[in-house]
Chains A and B, each alone.
Chain A
Amino acid sequence: MELNFTGTDICAVNGTRSAPEARYDVVVVGAGPSGIAAAVEHATAGKSVLLVDENPVSGALMGNDTPLYFGGRMTAATQNSERMLEAIFMSMPDLEKAMDAGAELLLGTTAWGVYRNGPGVASLPDQVVGLADAERSWMVGFGTIVLATGARDLAMAFPGWNQPGVMGAAALQMLLTRYDAFAGRRVLVLGSHDLALETALVAHARGIEVAGLIEVRDAPQGSADLVAQVKAAGISISCGQTIASAKGGIDGVESATLTSGETIACDTICAAIGLVPSIELVDAMHGPRALNPTRGGYIPAGEASVIAVGDCAGLTDSGFDHIGYRMDWMRALTAVTTNDTIICQCEEVTRADLIGIQPPNYLPRPAAMCARSLETLLKDGPANPDQIKRLTRSGMGVCQGRRCRDQVAMLLALETGTPYGTIPLASHRAPVRPLPLKILAEWDEPAEMEAAWDVWFGIPTQWVPVEDIGTPYQDEHREMLYTGMYK
C-alpha cells in the first residue's frame, strides 16, 4: 500500500477543540463568604469576574450525597429548584455585594473540571474551567481561578451507618441555614470539637432537638466558650466512648447504641468529626497539594493562577491536630465495625473485602483469589489507594468516593501500621461532580472535531487483516474506512 504522507495527521487533536465560550480575568468557584470576598475584591479592582456556585444542587445529586453528605435527610422542598434558588439567594445577602461590585453571578452552576496545558497536554486553546447547570455544560477561559469550594464532610463507617439519617455536619448546616430543608427532628452528634459544637448550636437554635454529643476522647475537644454554650443549652457531651451501632427502619435511623451500652433515640446521626478541604478541582488538574494536619488534611499548595481561599485553602489553624483526632475516632470505630460492615456504600464493599483486596461479589473468588489480601499485596510495595480501588471497587461509585476516600486512607494507615499521609490519597478525576452524559456532551462541537474523529488512531495499516495484506482488499479497506487519510 502506497501511503503519501502530508505532514499532517488529520486524526490528531491539534486544532479541533472549541474555543471557550467566554473569558474572564477571574473565575471564582464557590459563593461562600470567602468566594464573595474574592469576587468583590477583584471586581472592585476592575477585573472581569465570574462567580459561580453549585447551590442549589439538584435533589438527585443530594440523594447521591453530592457535594455534601446529606444522608437522605432533606425535605421534599429540595426537589423544587425555584424555591431552593430563592432560599439560597435570601440566605446570602452578600451575594448582592458581589453583583454590585460588577461580578457576574451564576447560581446552580457547578465547576466540574479545570484544564490547562502542561505535562502531557499542549492542545488546549486556553486555560479553561468546565461549568454546568441543569441544562448544559460549557467551557470558560480564565486568567486566574479562585477556588472557594469550602470543605466537605468526613464520613466514617460504623455498623448501621449505611442508612438514611446518617449524615455530615456541613450538610446539616447547609440544610438548616441555606436550604431551610432539613427533614430530621432529633440529632445525635458525633464529635465535640468546634465543628460538632457549632453544629449542635445551629441545630438547637433552629428548634431541632439535639440528643447529645458523643466524644471518643476523654474530654470535650472544642473551645471552652463553645462547650459552655452547648452545656448552657442543656445538651450533654458523653466522653470516652463512641457509637457502636445505629438501628433503623424503612425511613432510616431510629436509634443509636453507644459503646457504653446506652441506647439513644434519634432520627439523625450527624458525623461532625471533621471536614476535608474540597480540593477535588486542584487534584483533578494535578495541582500541587500538601498534607496539613492542623488545617484539616490535604490543601492546595498554591500557584500563581490557581488560588485557594477559605476552607478550601485549609481550615482555620487553631493548633488542633485534626488528623490525630480523626485517627482516634478511626481506631475506636474500627473496634466496633465488623467484617461485613460496608465501607464503600455505592459499591457495597465490606471491610473484609477491602482489607482482603477481594473483587465485588458478582465475580467468582477462586482459591487463588481468596488467598490474596492486603498483606500479600504489601509484599509488592507500599499500599496505593488507587490500586486498591481498582481491585475492590471501593471509591468507584456514583458518589465519586466522597463517602469513603478519606476513611479508606485512614483505614489503610491503621492496617499497614504507617502514619496517615505516607500512603497517597486516591485520585480525583474530572468531572468532579457526577454529570449526565446529555449535560456533559458538547452538542455544538466544532466541525473540526468531527472531521478528526476516528475510533482509534486512523492509521490505515493498523487494522488491515493480515490475510488481506498485499491483496487488492488492502486498498479497498483504506478507501472505505480511511477516505482522505495520508493522500
Chain B
Amino acid sequence: MSGSEVVIVGGGVTGLSAGWWLARSGVKVTVLDKFIVGWEASGRNGGGASHYASPLFDEEQRLWPQMDELLGYPTEHRKGRILIAMTERQWEQYRFIAERHKRLDHPVELLDVKQIQEAVPLAGDNSFGGIHYKFGGHANPQRSVQAYAWALQDLGGKIIQHSPVTGFETAGGKVTAVKTANATYGCDSVVVAAGPQIPQLMAQLGVDVPLAAARAEMIITEPAPMMPLGGVDGHKIYGRQTLRGNLAYGGGPHEWLDVDATGPAARPSTPLARNLAKRLAEMLPKAAHLNVIRSWAGVIENSPDGRPIIDRLTSPDNVVVASMSSVGFGLSPASGHAIRDLVIDGKCSFADIDLLKLSRFDGLEKDWREKRGWMPIS
C-alpha cells in the first residue's frame, strides 16, 4: 500500500486522524475539507474521551496519554473524570454505572461529598455523592484537531481547505477520483468522513447511509482557579475545566435538522444557554458567580442505534465510510487507527468492529427517522 494515494473527504477529527495514521504507514494522503479543518463538530465539542461503550474503547484509552508525543503538538489531554450526583435519582443511576464499571473491570471509586470537594473545590456540600473514573479523560478539541492536521502535514500528507467535494469518478467497481469544483484528485482509496454530509456523498455512490443530523449547544465561563481534577461531569451535563481554567459545559435537548450537501447553513446557539447555566451553577455552586463569556452550537449526525458506522464497502470496494454518530472526538485516536487498518488491510487489527458495520442497517424501515421522532421541526 505504501506509496498509494488515499483521498479523505472531511477534515474533522475522524478524517484527520485517519489521514495521520495512513501517513504514518507511508501512504500519500490528501484531506479535502469544505472549509477549515475542525470547523464543524470536531472543533465545537466537549472534549470528552471516555467511550466505554465502544469496541474502540481500549485503543482510545491506550492512545490518549501518548498523543501529545506521537503528534508532536499539545492536545491538552488530561486523565480521569468525576461524575457528581445532584439528585437522589442521579445518585442511584450513577451508582448503577459504577457497579457496571466494576463488573467490566474499569477502575472506579465512589466518592462522598467531602472527597468530591477535595477533587472539585468548586462543588458544594449539596451533592449526593459521586464516582471517580480512573480512566477516560478530556482534551482540547480545537487544539487536538489542529495537532492531527499538522502532524499529518509533517509526514508529507496534504490538507486542502475551502474545497467541498462535489462527487466521485468510478470505474471497474472502484472510485478512481474525487471531484471538487476546481480539481479532480485521482486516488487508490477513499475515506468518507464528512460528518452530517455523509449520506449525500454516499448516495452518489449508490450507498444508503442512514444518519440524522442535530444541533447541540455548549457554554463557557471565564477562568476559575484550577481544580485538581478538571474532567467533571454530572447533573446530566458534561464538560471540562480547560487548562486555562474556563468551565465548558453542554448537555440537554438537541434539535434535529435537515442538512444538505453543502453542510450546516448556520450553527446558532439558543437560550438553552440559560438551562445549561442553571445546571452548572447547581452542580458547582462555588462557580455560580463566574461569568459566562460565550455559547456555541455544533451539528452532529446520529445513526439509528447511536453507534458509529466504520466500514469498508463491498462495492465500490475501495471506499471506507466513517460516521462517529455524535461520539467521535474522544474516539478519534482509535477511529483513525481502525480506518487506516480498513483502508490498508481490509480489517481492523486491534478490535472486533463488526458492530460498526453499515450492513447492520440492511432492511431498515424507510421511515426510521419519523419512527424515532428524529425529524426537524416543521
Contacts and interface: CB of A to CB of B under 8 A. Distances in A.
A457 B254 contact: yes
Nearest to B53: A463
Contact of A486 (B236, B265, B296, B372): B372
A473 B100 contact: yes
B268 interface: yes
B253 A121 contact: no
B271 A442 contact: yes
A272 interface: no
B292 A390 contact: no
Main DSSP-derived SS at the B contact region: mixed
B19 to A, nearest CB: 14
B307 A286 contact: no
A453 B271 CA distance: 15
Contacts of B327: 456, 462
A290 interface: no
B1 interface: no
B266 interface: yes
B331 interface: no
Interface string A441-480: 1110100010011111101011111111100010011001
Contacts of B128: none
Interface stretch (A44-52, A73-81, A153-161, A392-400): A392-400
Interface string B281-306: 10000011111111111010010011
Interface in A120-138: 120-124, 128, 130, 137
Contact of B161 (A360, A381, A441): A381
Nearest to B374: A9
B214 interface: yes
A443 B267 CA distance: 26
Interface in B91-112: 92-93, 96-97, 100, 103-104
Given A120-B265, A391-B142, A400 B306 contact: no
A266 to B, nearest CB: 31
Contacts of A363: 74, 76, 143, 243
B254 A11 contact: yes
Interface stretch (A172-180, A324-332, A364-372): A364-372
Given A120-B266, A120-B299, A368-B72, A453 B236 contact: yes
Contacts, number: 258
Contact of A429 (B252, B269, B291): B269
Q: Of residues B146, B243, B287, which shows the largest number of chain A Cβ atoms within 10 Å of its Cβ?
A: B146
A404 interface: no
Contacts of B243: 362-363
Interface in B75-102: 76, 92-93, 96-97, 100
B181 to A, nearest CB: 15
Contact of A12 (B149, B254, B268, B294): B254
B113 interface: no
Contact of B214 (A367, A381, A436, A457): A457
Given A5-B372, A7-B371, A120 B288 contact: no
A467 B53 CA distance: 8
B376 A462 contact: no
B376 to A, nearest CB: 6
B237 interface: yes
Q: How many B residues are at the interface, by size bracket?
A: 35 or more
A435 interface: yes
Interface string B145-185: 01001110010000101100000000000000000000000
Contact of A6 (B223, B238, B269, B373): B373
Given A368-B154, A441-B274, A464-B53, A436 B292 contact: yes
B275 interface: yes
Contacts of A473: 100, 103
A437 B273 contact: no
Contacts of A306: none
A449 B253 contact: yes
A454 B89 CA distance: 13
A396 B326 CA distance: 26
Contact of B143 (A5, A391, A437, A465): A391
B286 to A, nearest CB: 11
A380 B292 contact: no
A119 interface: yes
Contact of B271 (A122, A130, A459, A466): A130
Nearest to B222: A398
Interface in B124-146: 142-143, 146
B255 A480 contact: no
Contacts of A359: 74, 143
Interface string B319-330: 000000111000
Nearest to B54: A466
A430 B104 contact: no
10 contacts: A12-B254, A12-B374, A120-B215, A120-B264, A120-B267, A122-B378, A359-B143, A437-B288, A437-B290, A455-B236
Q: Which 9 residue pairs are nearest across A and B when measured between Cβ atoms?
A: A462-B306, A459-B306, A434-B291, A9-B373, A368-B72, A119-B265, A442-B274, A441-B278, A13-B253
Given A454-B253, A480-B96, 4 more contacts: A120-B257, A390-B142, A390-B146, A459-B302
Interface of A: 5-14, 16-17, 113, 115, 118-124, 128, 130, 137, 139, 285-286, 347, 359-360, 362-369, 372, 380-381, 384, 387, 390-391, 393, 396-398, 400, 429-431, 434-438, 440-443, 445, 449, 452-457, 459, 461-469, 473, 476-477, 480-481, 486
